[in-house]
Amino acid sequence: MTKVHTYLIRYPSASLLFVQLLGIVLYPFMGQLSQGRAIVGAFGIVVLAMSLRMVRSSPTIQWIAFTQAACILALTIAVEYEYSTLLAVLLAGMESSFYFYAAGGLIAYMMEDLRASTDELFAVGATFTLLAWAFAHAFSVCQLLLPGSFTAAVNPEAARTWVELLYLSFTVLSGVGLSDILPLKPFARALVMLEQFAGVMYIGLVVTRLVTLTVRQRSS
């Protein structure tokens, strides 16, 4: 365990990726608990803190990220204290904005030199998860503002859960096209198209660049 802990400290991108993947496994169980929303919110704050750590190590304007994080924390407490659609929209929108900003910071971190370090390779996966979370929160905003934006094979008229929206985001971003959740309204479809474009560009530009640099380093 000491070696694993040391490894995760040495490679912060690996830590963020591990926590994000752990969240994917735990979210279905969190949703079944009586305090599921509060637990999901608490887990989101953990991810938020780790993302802030990554933003600090990337060439971005840090005060923007910290301001967003402070707003998210305040809104999370407000939503748990007294839920309202307006607060939920503001929280989801702020979370989406923060994860997009954090993903941009990691992309800048990976693109700032001509060397592919081990942490930058982990950052490839961490950035992908941040983008998936960002679009999932954007889908949440869309669903809150425009009910019925998404449908599914099971309970087609119901509002989609967080896990369902995150699942849709991962399938769209990766381009595998295996989701049984479909966008119905024009704005929802526009968000899905933007994520499809982001996924293609991310793999085509960022991932391909790091793979090329890695092969070049090993060849030399």
Give residue 107's pLDDT.
86
Average pLDDT value for residue range 172-183: 86
CA distances from 108 to 19, 112, 194 (A): 21, 6, 20
pLDDT of residue 197: 94
Topology adopted by domain 1-219: Helix Hairpins (1.10.287)
Among 15-24, 51-60, 168-177, name the one with the lowest average pLDDT.
51-60
* Contact (CB, 8 A) for 179 and 171: yes
| 94 pLDDT above the threshold of 70 | yes
| Domain residue limits, the chain | 1-219
Q: What is the pLDDT of residues 102-143, one digit of tens each?
A: 888 888 888 877 777 778 888 888 899 999 999 999 999 999
* Predicted model pTM: 0.87
Other Cβ atoms less than 10 A from the Cβ of 48: the count is 19
Query: In the chain, count of helices (H) and strands (E)?
Result: 9, 2
Q: What's at 77, amino acid-wise?
A: I
